[in-house]
């Protein structure tokens, strides 16, 4: 991926993680395929979103709805590992919508 393509992905959400909405630097940004290549997602800019390390790690190959279900299930558990506790803090005001779903994405 070229630096220019990375910049386009980064600018889609104004320098924020597309999922939790936290501010991320251009260098910290991980490019996430909304629909993973494994699940027949396209390898093009339209299918890519900027993500923080934690969200990209936990989302893995899930599509957005699968990631949403995964988060709900993890947050509902009585006992949570440290990683899920940190992730839950990032999503403390989450209303079942990811940042990119609530904001205008620049294309």
Q: Is 86 among the domain residues?
A: yes
CATH number at 29 reads: 1.10.30
Q: Is 17 among the domain residues?
A: yes
Q: Dump pLDDT digits (tens) for 24-55.
A: 999 999 999 999 999 999 999 999 999 999 99
pLDDT at 105 over 70: no
Percent of the chain topping pLDDT 70: 96
- Nearest Cα residue to 52 out of 94, 100, 92, 93: 100
Full-model pTM:
0.87
Domain of residue 57: give its range: 3-95
Count of structural domains within the chain:
1
Helices (H), 12-81: 53-59, 64-76
Coil, strand or helix: which one is 49?
Answer: strand
Q: Is 106 among the domain residues?
A: no
């Amino acid at each position: 991926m070229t630096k220019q393509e990375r910049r386009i992905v980064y600018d889609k959400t104004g320098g924020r993680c597309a999922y939790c909405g936290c501010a991320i630097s251009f260098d910290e940004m991980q490019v996430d395929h909304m629909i993973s290549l494994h699940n027949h997602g396209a390898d093009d800019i339209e299918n890519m979103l900027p993500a923080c390390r934690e969200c990209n790690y936990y989302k893995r190959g899930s599509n957005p709805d699968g990631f949403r279900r995964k988060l709900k299930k993890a947050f509902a558990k009585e006992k949570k590992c440290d990683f899920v506790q940190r992730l839950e803090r990032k999503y403390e005001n989450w209303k079942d919508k990811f940042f990119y779903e609530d904001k205008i994405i620049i294309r």
